[in-house]
Amino acid sequence: MSEKKVVSIEERIPKLKHARKKKANRRLVFYLSVFFILISVVVYLQSPLSNIRNVSVEGNQFVSDEELKSISELASDDNFWSVDKEAVKNRIEEHPVIEEVDISKQFPSTIRLQVKEYDRVGYVENEGAYFPVLENGKRLTTKTTKVAGSDAPILIGFNNDTYLKEMTKELQILPDSIVDLISEIHWSPSDENPYVIQLFMNDGYQVDGSIRSFSEKMMSYPSIVAQLDPGSEGIIHIGVGAYFESYEDGASEGQQEDGENQDGTEG
C-alpha cells in the first residue's frame, strides 16, 4: 500500500494567510464600491444632473404643448425623482378640454405627458364663424375658423349651454356611421317645446325631432331612408312616431311607430 502524504502545519499556514488576505481584499473592494456608489448617488441627486431636462406631450390636439407644460407646473429646476405625478395629473385634468392624462418618467430626465382630450362632436356657428364643441359641451372659442370642418355636424342657433350640452351628449351616443350623415343641426325652440331641432342630412333629407331621446330615435334613420323611393325629397319626422313627409305634396309615406297616425292619434 502507498503511504499517505502528510502536510505539516508549517506548510499550511502560508496558504491560510493568503486565503484570508484574498478574502479580506475582496471584502474591502465590495465595501469601497458600495461607498462610492452611495456617494455618487448623493452627488447626482444634489446636482443639476438629476433635474428635469425635457417634458414631452403626446395626444393633444386642442390644447398646445406650451399650455399643458405651464399647467403642469413642471420646471427645469425640479428634481426628476421627486416629481409628484398625482399632483401634476390633478392640475392638468382640471382643464375643461382634458379628459385624462397619464404621467410617466423616462430615465434619465424626461417627464412624459400622455393626454386624452374630450372628443369633438360638432362645430358651433356664431355670426359666421365656427368653433369646435366637445362631448362635454365645452366650446373652444380659441379655435375659431371661417370654415367648419367636414368631420362633424354644424350646430346652429345653440346659444344656450344647457341645451348644447344635452345635444352633444346625444351625439356622443350615436354611432359614427349615423353622425357622419348629419350636415347641420338647428336648434328651433318654441314656447311649448324648447327641445325642437331640425337636421339637414348629407343625403338631402331634412329631419325634424327633439333633443330628448334624439340618439334613440335617430338609430332608425337608415332603415327609414331605405324604404323611401330613390330621389324622393322631404322631411323625416322622428318625434312622436316616425314618418316621411314629401316636399311635393305634403303627403307622408311609411307607417308611424307605436301604431300612431301622423296627427299623433291612435290608428
User: Model confidence over 101-110: pLDDT tens digits?
Assistant: 999 999 889 9
% of the chain with per-residue pLDDT over 90: 52
DSSP state of 61: S
- Judged against a pLDDT cut of 80, whether residue 253 lies above it is answered with no
Helix, strand and coil percent figures for the chain, each rounded to 5: 35, 25, 40
Q: Is the peptide bond before 108 cis (omega within 30 degrees of 0)?
A: yes
Q: How high does pLDDT run on average in the chain? A: 84
- Judged against a pLDDT cut of 90, whether residue 125 lies above it is answered with no
Q: Is 227 helix (H, G, I), strand (E, B) or coil?
A: coil
- Vertex 138 angle, CA 136 and 139, to 5°: 145
Among 155, 81, 68, which residue's Cα sits nearest to residue 120? 155
- Judged against a pLDDT cut of 90, whether residue 54 lies above it is answered with yes
Other CB atoms within a 10 A radius of the CB of residue 230 amount to: 4
- Name the residue with cell 393633444: 60
Other CB atoms within a 10 A radius of the CB of residue 163 amount to: 19
Q: What is the pLDDT of residue 128?
A: 81
Q: Report the distance separating Cα 103 and Cα 110, nearest Å.
A: 11
